[in-house]
Amino acid sequence: MPETTTRPGICRICSAHCGVLATVEDGQLTKVTGDPDNPMFRGYTCAKGRALPDIHNNPDRLLHSQKRDGDRFVPIAAERAMDEIAERLQELIATHGPRSVAMYIGTNCLPYPASPLTANAFLRAIESPMFFTANTIDQPGKQIALAAHGHWLGGDVPFDEADTWLLVGTNPLVSKAIGIPGQNPGQNLRAAIARGMQLIVVDPRRSQTAARAAIHLQPRPGEDATILAGLINVVITDGLCDTEFLAENVAGFDDLARAVAPFTAAYVAERADVPADRLVEAARLFASARSGMVNAGTGANFGLHGNLLEYLCLCLTTICGRWQRAGERVTRPNTLMPAYTAKAQAHPPYEGWGYGEHLRMRGLTDTVAGMPTAALADEILQPGDGQVKALICVGGNPMAAWPDQRKTHRALESLDLLVTLDTEMSLTSRLADYVIAPMMQMETPAMTQGSELIKYYASGTGIPAAYAQYAPRLSDPPPGSDLVEEWQFFLGLARRMGLTMFFVNFFGGGGGRFMESPPVVVTMDEHTALTTEELFAEMCANSRVPLDEVAGHPHGKVFDVDAVVAERDADCTARLDVGNAHMLAELAQVRGEDHTARRADGDWPLRLIPRRHGSFMNSSGTALAALNRGKGYNPTYMHPATIAALGLSSGDLVTVTSPHDFIPSVVEADESLREDVVAMHHAFGGLPSEDHEVRARGSNVGRLIPTDVDYDPVTGIPRQGNIPVRVTPRAG
Is pLDDT of 504 > 60?
Answer: yes
CATH number, position 165: 3.40.228.10
Flag whether 355 is in a domain.
Answer: no
* Separation of alpha carbons 241 and 244, rounded Å: 9
82: left (phi over 0), alpha (psi -120 to 50) or beta: alpha
- Answer whether 577's CB lies under 8 Å from 489's CB: no
Flag whether 612 is in a domain.
Answer: yes
User: What was the pLDDT predicted at 602?
Assistant: 82
Flag whether 560 is in a domain.
Answer: no
Flag whether 251 is in a domain.
Answer: yes
Q: What is the mean pLDDT of residues 31-41?
A: 96
Q: Looking at 582, 610, 641, which one is the last position of a domain?
A: 582
* Separation of alpha carbons 637 and 633, rounded Å: 12
Tell me how long the chain is.
732
Closest CA to 151 of 356, 338, 365, 368: 368
Q: In this predicted structure, which of 175-179, 335-339, 668-672, 690-694 has the lowest mean pLDDT?
A: 175-179
Residue 160 sits at φ, ψ, to 5 deg, of: -75, 0
Question: 732 vs 92, which has greater pLDDT?
Answer: 92
Complete DSSP assignment for 481-507: ---B-HHHHHHHHHHHHT--EEEEE--
Q: Residue 227 sits in which domain range?
A: 157-322+578-582
Q: Give the tens place of pLDDT for each residue, 538-589.
A: 999 999 999 999 999 999 999 999 899 999 999 999 999 999 999 999 999 9
CATH number, position 622: 2.40.40.20
- Answer whether 655's CB lies under 8 Å from 686's CB: no
Closest CA to 349 of 371, 333, 372, 368: 368
Percent of the chain with pLDDT over 90: 84
The number of folded domains in the chain is: 2
Flag whether 127 is in a domain.
Answer: no
Q: Give the tens place of pLDDT for each residue, 648-675.
A: 999 999 999 999 999 999 999 999 999 9
Is pLDDT of 219 > 90?
Answer: yes
Q: In this predicted structure, which of 106-110, 487-491, 559-563 has the lowest mean pLDDT?
A: 106-110
Is pLDDT of 470 > 90?
Answer: yes
Flag whether 571 is in a domain.
Answer: no
Flag whether 672 is in a domain.
Answer: yes
Q: Give the tens place of pLDDT for each residue, 223-269.
A: 999 999 999 999 999 999 999 999 999 999 999 999 999 999 999 99
- Answer whether 419's CB lies under 8 Å from 85's CB: yes
User: What was the pLDDT predicted at 260?
Assistant: 98
Complete DSSP assignment for 45-60: --HHHHTHHHHHT-TT
Q: Looking at 528, 551, 582, which one is the last position of a domain?
A: 582
Q: Give the tens place of pLDDT for each residue, 389-420.
A: 999 999 999 999 999 999 999 999 999 999 99
Q: What is the mean pLDDT of residues 717-723?
A: 96
Closest CA to 544 of 456, 446, 461, 448: 448
Q: Looking at 518, 548, 582, which one is the last position of a domain?
A: 582
* Type of residue at 39: P
Closest CA to 209 of 237, 180, 235: 180
Is pLDDT of 506 > 70?
Answer: no
Flag whether 608 is in a domain.
Answer: yes
How is the beta sheet containing 215-217 ordered, strand by strand? 215-217, 198-202, 164-168, 294-296
User: What was the pLDDT predicted at 599?
Assistant: 66
* Separation of alpha carbons 477 and 29, rounded Å: 10
Q: In this predicted structure, which of 4-13, 106-115, 367-376, 598-607 has the lowest mean pLDDT?
A: 598-607
Across the chain, what does the average pLDDT equal?
93
